[in-house]
Structure 1
């Protein structure tokens, strides 16, 4: 089976009949209904979305077998996954985070930097996190200027390290 991809996270219960708030990580929030059963990362539990409607910044969904508010409350915070091969192909320049995790990171002069361990988005754009063999991880903007090459087949990303980072004050050291 292909590596699982996190497509949603269950939030608080909604109402008294077992509905839950669902935050999706898909381009089209309602697409989670099209991927088949959603499962926990370990695959031990599966959930089928029986009904979904859009709310302000999330979906309100009912899941097969979840009939009471107590049942729904026990699911709060649970991340839901689907196998990677159930997701649509990406366009050029688009990537699933799971495809990037574990890639080698090298500089434009082919010097090894480490491995990609995460992609974050704190609201101002994607950030790529690279773990060197030793020392602190690097957080860099995941932009075409900083990451000019993503070579999935070659198993690497090329990083053009910025000369200075806004906010750095060399005289404060």
Structure 2
């Protein structure tokens, strides 16, 4: 029995070792994008964390407001730049707050949020989108909050809004 488990573990490990995840896989596989979105899990963990009633410092919220006609006129490269700039700002803001937080569930949740934001940023920045690179213009003014639940909600809207709209634009390159 133990030998068969060890063999199964070795087989799974070799498959994972050889797996390659590319940004195009993220674009073409909506289910992978859904699986990567752990905001609901973080929100549930937040409910169990009394230490995070209020953050020690405000976090800049991702810009989620979109004027549909303006968004549709942007090139894929501009949309990518808009999302990447928003994710960078969120990552920096979460990082600052994380350093001010006490150890425990608060620090763990902020670490997880920062890691998740950086994963999305890594994928977005490595998307191979042809076109001119223009500096992104944010479509709304940046707001900030001391509420992590508001940050999580807004981040979720960014992922399910602008990010999904960009992915829809890029699916033409999927096999």
Structure number, greater radius of gyration: 1
TM-score, normalising length from structure 1?
0.22
TM-score for the superposition, normalised by structure 2: 0.22
Which has the larger share of strand?
Answer: 1
Q: Which has the higher contact order (CA 8 A, sep 6+)?
A: 2
